[in-house]
Amino acid sequence: METFVVLIFILGYIAITMEHKLKIDKLIPALLMMALAWTAVALGIDSFTTWFNPHEAKLIGISGMNHLAKMHLLENTLLHHFGKTAEILVFLMGAMAIVEMIDHFNGFGTIKKMIKTNSKLALLWIVCFLGFFLSAIIDNLTATIVLITIIRKILPEQKDRMWFAGFVIIAANAGGAWTPIGDVTTTMLWMAGKVTTGKLAMLLSLPSLVNILVPLTIASFMKAFKGRFSSEIGSDSENKNGAFMLYLGLALVVFVPIFKTVTHLPPYIGMMLSLSIFAIIAEILTKRKFSLVQIKDVKNHPSISPTMKALSKIEMPSVLFFLGILMTVAAMESLGLIYNFGQTVNSTIPSDLFVTILGISSAIIDNVPLVAASIGMFQNAPDASIWHFVAYAAGTGGSMLIIGSAAGVVAMGMEKISFSWYLKNITLLALAGYLAGIGVFFLVRAISI
């Protein structure tokens, strides 16, 4: 039955990677393989002799248990994993809602006003630094969408925008790797208690910065970024509260790690607190009476509550995709497959080499299951350097291919960037930044020991 569960995961993952050719959204195979994997576990429960106990983080023998006892253990394990997964999903949904409400007030238009140059190279550096720091706060996917939207209003030539979009991907992924709220993988490690905010920022901020500085330095000598540009930018509809809501929203998101440090409560509690405060202020600023009748027409009603509008625009397909992936990995972890694989890896190759390969693999295989598997694979103490290395590798390695990260996929769609163009023009730059960042990480790690 273990082989069947692994086969389900492999076939499901092939379907996920081929979603564009199959024309089936990746959430469908993700949910299907989750359901099939746990069904197989339930049907084959009597044949299993060992079980990975998530509460004690170790394998236990269950051969002496009767059927009812094994089913009770399965239910408790399933509830544990679903609870941990739900914590991540609720956290992400709260962050998404805050970002959507900022956009409701055109808060991101404030960022566009900061850009006052017609030099391609200067614009590249400004955009990349904005991407690096913005993604550390609102996550790399949202930062990519915001910045490419701004670039489209500044650069008239699509061939120029493709180059800029490629660098935005690298910058956003690098920026998302050094904070617990910048990338879903770092959020997973943070919420699993593997990393803390302070240590993560201390060890990864410099390597992540080098990850984008190396490609930027090379780009300074490239023909694509020579010269100046001219654009006819139409005036966006301004909102007098836009800047205030942008800064308030970013501050409330940054407040979440502080809340966790002070209260030791799960991060999603802090995110819900920030969301509720932000929603109250958003409702007050709209100066309107709220009617439950309007909920029936959330997308079309002109005076709809900003809170309801934001909640209606949350990317539920992404949320359900994460649910399917994380719960499928949890099924394999429960059977001890990931733990045993981790023990084999530790005894075969150095962990640093393995994590480096893991990061390169994340350019092909989605980094969410890779990190989910690594959490069950390694039994190192919280804030051990390997967890920070996993966060860096999985977060930035996906930049090497345009399909290797959520930021890359969304940029691919927005600017119609082909896989081959990105491979030819951006991949080596991303690889150079990735390897340079690893070297700096090793240096920082050695100094901090």
- Where are the chain's structural domains? 86-449
pLDDT band for 31, please (50, 70, 90 cuts).
very high
100 pLDDT higher than 90: no
pLDDT band for 288, please (50, 70, 90 cuts).
low
User: What is residue 115's predicted lDDT score, i.e. its pLDDT?
Assistant: 79
pLDDT in tens, 319-358: 888 888 889 888 888 888 877 777 787 778 898 999 999 8
Give the residue-averaged pLDDT of 36-50. 91
Give the residue-averaged pLDDT of 88-98. 85
93 pLDDT higher than 90: no
User: What is residue 302's predicted lDDT score, i.e. its pLDDT?
Assistant: 43
User: What is residue 298's predicted lDDT score, i.e. its pLDDT?
Assistant: 47
142, 99 contact by CB (below 8 A): yes
Give the residue-averaged pLDDT of 33-43. 93
106 pLDDT higher than 90: no
Give the residue-averaged pLDDT of 197-208. 93
Helix, strand and coil percent figures for the chain, each rounded to 5: 75, 0, 25
pLDDT band for 236, please (50, 70, 90 cuts).
low
pLDDT in tens, 144-174: 888 888 888 788 888 889 999 999 999 999 9
pLDDT in tens, 245-286: 989 988 998 898 889 889 988 889 999 999 999 999 998 888
57 pLDDT higher than 70: no
Q: Over the range 8-43, which residues count as b (16 or more CB within 10 Å of their CB) and which as e?
A: bbeebbebbbebeeeeeebbbbbbbbbebbbebbee
Q: Report the SS3 class of residue 228.
A: strand
Distance from the Cα of residue 143 to its chain's centroid:
11
85 pLDDT higher than 80: yes
- Region for 227 from its dihedrals, namely left if φ exceeds 0, alpha if ψ lies in -120 to 50, beta otherwise: left
Q: What is the pTM of this model?
A: 0.76
Angle between helices 385-397 and 197-219 (to 10 degrees): 40
Give the percent of the chain with pLDDT over 90. Answer: 35
